[in-house]
Amino acid sequence: MTMNLFNQFLSPTFLGLPLIAIALMAPCLLYPSPAPWWQSNRWMTLQNWFIGSFIKQIFSPINTKGHSWALLLATLMVFLITLNTLGLLPYTFTPTTQLSLNMAFAVPLWLATVIMGFRNSPTHALGHLLPEGTPTPLVPILIIIESISLLIRPLALGVRLTANLTAGHLLIQLVSSAAFSLLLSQTTAASLAVGLLLLLTILEIAVAMIQAYVFVLLLSLYLQENV
Protein backbone atom coordinates (compact mmCIF):
# COMPACT_ATOMS: atom_id res chain seq x y z
CA MET A 1 0.00 0.00 0.00
CA THR A 2 2.83 2.40 0.84
CA MET A 3 4.54 1.78 -2.47
CA ASN A 4 1.27 2.36 -4.36
CA LEU A 5 0.77 5.68 -2.60
CA PHE A 6 4.18 7.04 -3.48
CA ASN A 7 4.47 5.56 -6.98
CA GLN A 8 2.65 8.62 -8.31
CA PHE A 9 5.69 10.76 -7.45
CA LEU A 10 8.11 8.67 -9.54
CA SER A 11 9.31 10.37 -12.70
CA PRO A 12 7.65 8.57 -15.66
CA THR A 13 9.83 7.06 -18.36
CA PHE A 14 9.30 5.87 -21.91
CA LEU A 15 11.80 3.46 -23.44
CA GLY A 16 14.14 4.32 -20.57
CA LEU A 17 13.94 8.07 -21.25
CA PRO A 18 12.55 10.35 -18.49
CA LEU A 19 9.45 12.27 -19.52
CA ILE A 20 9.94 15.06 -16.99
CA ALA A 21 11.38 17.25 -19.76
CA ILE A 22 8.06 17.06 -21.62
CA ALA A 23 6.20 17.99 -18.44
CA LEU A 24 8.48 21.01 -17.98
CA MET A 25 7.77 22.17 -21.54
CA ALA A 26 3.98 22.16 -21.02
CA PRO A 27 3.80 25.79 -19.78
CA CYS A 28 5.69 26.93 -22.87
CA LEU A 29 3.00 25.37 -25.06
CA LEU A 30 0.09 26.84 -23.07
CA TYR A 31 1.42 30.41 -22.90
CA PRO A 32 2.60 31.38 -26.41
CA SER A 33 4.23 34.74 -26.81
CA PRO A 34 2.06 37.15 -28.81
CA ALA A 35 3.24 38.03 -32.29
CA PRO A 36 3.07 41.62 -33.59
CA TRP A 37 0.28 40.73 -36.01
CA TRP A 38 -1.96 39.19 -33.34
CA GLN A 39 -5.04 41.05 -32.26
CA SER A 40 -5.65 41.42 -28.55
CA ASN A 41 -8.17 38.86 -27.27
CA ARG A 42 -9.67 38.13 -23.88
CA TRP A 43 -7.10 35.48 -23.02
CA MET A 44 -4.14 37.73 -23.76
CA THR A 45 -5.80 40.64 -21.94
CA LEU A 46 -6.39 38.51 -18.85
CA GLN A 47 -2.86 37.16 -18.97
CA ASN A 48 -1.33 40.62 -19.27
CA TRP A 49 -3.53 41.96 -16.47
CA PHE A 50 -2.53 39.12 -14.14
CA ILE A 51 1.20 39.51 -14.82
CA GLY A 52 1.01 43.29 -14.51
CA SER A 53 -0.85 43.13 -11.20
CA PHE A 54 1.59 40.56 -9.86
CA ILE A 55 4.65 42.63 -10.82
CA LYS A 56 3.12 45.79 -9.32
CA GLN A 57 2.34 44.07 -6.02
CA ILE A 58 5.66 42.25 -5.66
CA PHE A 59 8.02 45.01 -6.75
CA SER A 60 6.33 48.07 -5.22
CA PRO A 61 8.45 47.87 -1.99
CA ILE A 62 11.67 46.97 -3.84
CA ASN A 63 14.30 49.45 -4.90
CA THR A 64 14.51 50.30 -8.60
CA LYS A 65 17.73 48.28 -8.84
CA GLY A 66 15.73 45.13 -8.24
CA HIS A 67 13.14 45.85 -10.92
CA SER A 68 15.33 44.10 -13.45
CA TRP A 69 14.20 40.85 -11.80
CA ALA A 70 10.54 41.48 -12.73
CA LEU A 71 10.57 39.42 -15.92
CA LEU A 72 12.38 36.51 -14.26
CA LEU A 73 10.12 36.30 -11.20
CA ALA A 74 6.91 36.80 -13.18
CA THR A 75 7.94 34.01 -15.56
CA LEU A 76 8.77 31.75 -12.62
CA MET A 77 5.40 32.53 -11.01
CA VAL A 78 3.41 31.59 -14.14
CA PHE A 79 5.61 28.55 -14.71
CA LEU A 80 5.10 27.18 -11.20
CA ILE A 81 1.35 27.83 -11.20
CA THR A 82 0.99 25.97 -14.49
CA LEU A 83 3.06 22.99 -13.35
CA ASN A 84 1.23 22.74 -10.03
CA THR A 85 -2.27 22.93 -11.48
CA LEU A 86 -1.58 20.61 -14.42
CA GLY A 87 -0.36 18.01 -11.93
CA LEU A 88 -3.88 17.81 -10.51
CA LEU A 89 -5.24 16.36 -13.76
CA PRO A 90 -5.70 12.57 -13.84
CA TYR A 91 -2.82 10.49 -15.18
CA THR A 92 -0.39 13.39 -15.11
CA PHE A 93 2.92 13.96 -13.36
CA THR A 94 3.75 16.94 -11.15
CA PRO A 95 7.45 17.85 -11.52
CA THR A 96 7.30 20.23 -8.54
CA THR A 97 6.76 17.28 -6.17
CA GLN A 98 10.45 16.49 -6.78
CA LEU A 99 12.69 18.15 -4.19
CA SER A 100 15.64 18.13 -6.58
CA LEU A 101 13.75 20.25 -9.12
CA ASN A 102 12.54 22.74 -6.51
CA MET A 103 16.06 23.06 -5.12
CA ALA A 104 17.29 23.68 -8.67
CA PHE A 105 14.92 26.66 -8.75
CA ALA A 106 15.61 27.91 -5.23
CA VAL A 107 19.40 27.63 -4.83
CA PRO A 108 20.56 29.62 -7.92
CA LEU A 109 18.02 32.43 -7.39
CA TRP A 110 18.76 32.71 -3.66
CA LEU A 111 22.50 32.66 -4.36
CA ALA A 112 22.09 35.38 -6.98
CA THR A 113 20.38 37.66 -4.44
CA VAL A 114 23.13 37.03 -1.88
CA ILE A 115 25.90 37.70 -4.42
CA MET A 116 24.13 40.88 -5.52
CA GLY A 117 23.96 42.05 -1.92
CA PHE A 118 27.64 41.43 -1.26
CA ARG A 119 28.60 43.08 -4.54
CA ASN A 120 26.47 46.22 -4.14
CA SER A 121 26.80 46.79 -0.38
CA PRO A 122 29.06 44.35 1.50
CA THR A 123 28.70 46.20 4.80
CA HIS A 124 24.92 46.17 4.67
CA ALA A 125 24.89 42.48 3.67
CA LEU A 126 27.17 41.52 6.55
CA GLY A 127 25.07 43.66 8.89
CA HIS A 128 22.22 41.16 8.57
CA LEU A 129 24.37 38.63 10.41
CA LEU A 130 24.57 40.76 13.56
CA PRO A 131 21.56 42.75 14.84
CA GLU A 132 22.29 46.22 16.17
CA GLY A 133 22.72 46.50 19.93
CA THR A 134 23.71 42.86 20.48
CA PRO A 135 25.59 42.27 23.77
CA THR A 136 29.26 41.42 23.21
CA PRO A 137 29.13 37.89 24.73
CA LEU A 138 26.31 36.94 22.34
CA VAL A 139 28.02 38.18 19.17
CA PRO A 140 29.65 34.84 18.13
CA ILE A 141 26.49 32.85 18.85
CA LEU A 142 24.23 35.24 16.93
CA ILE A 143 26.59 35.30 13.94
CA ILE A 144 26.47 31.50 13.78
CA ILE A 145 22.66 31.44 14.14
CA GLU A 146 22.12 34.11 11.49
CA SER A 147 24.55 32.39 9.13
CA ILE A 148 22.67 29.11 9.50
CA SER A 149 19.33 30.84 8.95
CA LEU A 150 20.75 32.46 5.81
CA LEU A 151 22.07 29.19 4.40
CA ILE A 152 18.87 27.28 5.17
CA ARG A 153 16.67 29.63 3.15
CA PRO A 154 16.87 27.78 -0.20
CA LEU A 155 16.24 24.47 1.57
CA ALA A 156 13.13 25.94 3.21
CA LEU A 157 11.89 27.18 -0.18
CA GLY A 158 12.28 23.80 -1.84
CA VAL A 159 10.95 21.72 1.07
CA ARG A 160 7.89 23.98 1.56
CA LEU A 161 6.81 23.64 -2.06
CA THR A 162 7.51 19.90 -2.20
CA ALA A 163 5.82 19.05 1.10
CA ASN A 164 2.62 21.00 0.45
CA LEU A 165 2.08 19.54 -3.01
CA THR A 166 3.01 16.02 -1.93
CA ALA A 167 0.62 16.10 1.05
CA GLY A 168 -2.23 17.31 -1.15
CA HIS A 169 -1.70 14.59 -3.73
CA LEU A 170 -1.58 11.93 -1.02
CA LEU A 171 -4.83 13.17 0.53
CA ILE A 172 -6.59 13.14 -2.84
CA GLN A 173 -5.40 9.60 -3.56
CA LEU A 174 -6.44 8.32 -0.13
CA VAL A 175 -9.93 9.85 -0.33
CA SER A 176 -10.47 8.71 -3.93
CA SER A 177 -9.36 5.17 -3.02
CA ALA A 178 -11.80 5.15 -0.09
CA ALA A 179 -14.64 6.41 -2.30
CA PHE A 180 -13.96 3.73 -4.90
CA SER A 181 -13.81 0.92 -2.33
CA LEU A 182 -17.05 2.04 -0.65
CA LEU A 183 -18.95 2.60 -3.88
CA LEU A 184 -20.71 -0.80 -3.94
CA SER A 185 -20.94 -1.60 -0.25
CA GLN A 186 -21.83 1.75 1.37
CA THR A 187 -23.31 4.23 -1.07
CA THR A 188 -23.87 6.97 1.50
CA ALA A 189 -20.29 6.87 2.74
CA ALA A 190 -19.05 6.80 -0.84
CA SER A 191 -21.12 9.90 -1.65
CA LEU A 192 -19.65 11.73 1.32
CA ALA A 193 -16.16 10.68 0.22
CA VAL A 194 -16.83 12.00 -3.30
CA GLY A 195 -18.02 15.32 -1.86
CA LEU A 196 -14.90 15.51 0.28
CA LEU A 197 -12.82 14.72 -2.80
CA LEU A 198 -14.35 17.63 -4.70
CA LEU A 199 -13.63 19.99 -1.80
CA LEU A 200 -10.05 18.69 -1.58
CA THR A 201 -9.58 19.24 -5.31
CA ILE A 202 -10.73 22.85 -5.02
CA LEU A 203 -8.46 23.30 -2.02
CA GLU A 204 -5.50 21.83 -3.88
CA ILE A 205 -6.03 24.17 -6.82
CA ALA A 206 -5.84 27.05 -4.37
CA VAL A 207 -2.78 25.54 -2.67
CA ALA A 208 -1.06 25.07 -6.05
CA MET A 209 -1.47 28.77 -6.81
CA ILE A 210 -0.68 30.00 -3.30
CA GLN A 211 2.50 27.94 -3.00
CA ALA A 212 3.79 29.28 -6.32
CA TYR A 213 3.03 32.81 -5.11
CA VAL A 214 4.73 32.19 -1.73
CA PHE A 215 7.81 30.77 -3.46
CA VAL A 216 8.23 33.91 -5.60
CA LEU A 217 7.22 36.24 -2.76
CA LEU A 218 9.97 34.91 -0.48
CA LEU A 219 12.50 35.28 -3.29
CA SER A 220 11.40 38.90 -3.72
CA LEU A 221 11.87 39.47 0.03
CA TYR A 222 15.40 38.06 -0.18
CA LEU A 223 15.98 40.36 -3.15
CA GLN A 224 14.66 43.34 -1.19
CA GLU A 225 17.19 42.71 1.55
CA ASN A 226 20.10 42.80 -0.88
CA VAL A 227 19.37 45.71 -3.24
Q: Where residue 3 falls among pLDDT bands split at 50, 70, 90?
A: very low
Contacts of 120 (CB under 8 A, 6+ apart): 65, 226, 227
For 97-131, what is each residue's pLDDT tens digit?
888 889 999 999 999 999 988 888 887 777 777 77
Q: How many CB atoms lie within 10 A of CB 164?
A: 19
Lowest mean pLDDT among 6-20, 70-84, 115-129, 200-214: 6-20
Q: What is the pLDDT of residue 80?
A: 92
As a whole number of angstroms, the distance between CA 123 and CA 104 comes to 29
Average pLDDT over residues 171-179: 85
Q: Is the predicted pLDDT of residue 188 greater than 80, yes or no?
A: yes
Q: What is the pLDDT of residue 34?
A: 62
Closest CA to 165 of 81, 39, 63: 81
Q: Is 68 helix (H, G, I), strand (E, B) or coil?
A: helix
Q: Report the first-to-last Cα separation within the chain, whole angstroms.
A: 50
Residue 162 or 48, more confident: 162
Q: What is the pLDDT of residue 105?
A: 92
In the predicted model, what is the mean pLDDT of the chain? 83
Q: Is the dihedral of CA 182, 186, 191, 192 positive or negative?
A: negative
Average pLDDT over residues 201-213: 92
Average pLDDT over residues 164-192: 85
DSSP string covering 71-82: HHHHHHHHHHHH
Average pLDDT over residues 142-146: 86
Residue 32 or 152, more confident: 152
Q: Is the predicted pLDDT of residue 10 greater than 90, yes or no?
A: no
Q: Where residue 215 falls among pLDDT bands split at 50, 70, 90?
A: very high
H or E, element range at 18: strand 17-18
As a whole number of angstroms, the distance between CA 207 and CA 225 comes to 27
What is the four-CA torsion angle of 219, 68, 21, 164, rounded to 10 degrees? 20
Asked if 167 and 111 touch (Cβ cutoff 8 Å), the reply is: no
Q: What is the pLDDT of residue 2?
A: 47
Q: Is the predicted pLDDT of residue 23 greater than 70, yes or no?
A: yes
Closest CA to 9 of 200, 157, 172: 172
As a whole number of angstroms, the distance between CA 178 and CA 189 comes to 9
Residue 8 or 178, more confident: 178
For 25-77, what is each residue's pLDDT tens digit?
777 777 766 666 555 677 777 878 888 888 888 888 888 888 888 889 988 99
Q: Is the predicted pLDDT of residue 180 greater than 90, yes or no?
A: no
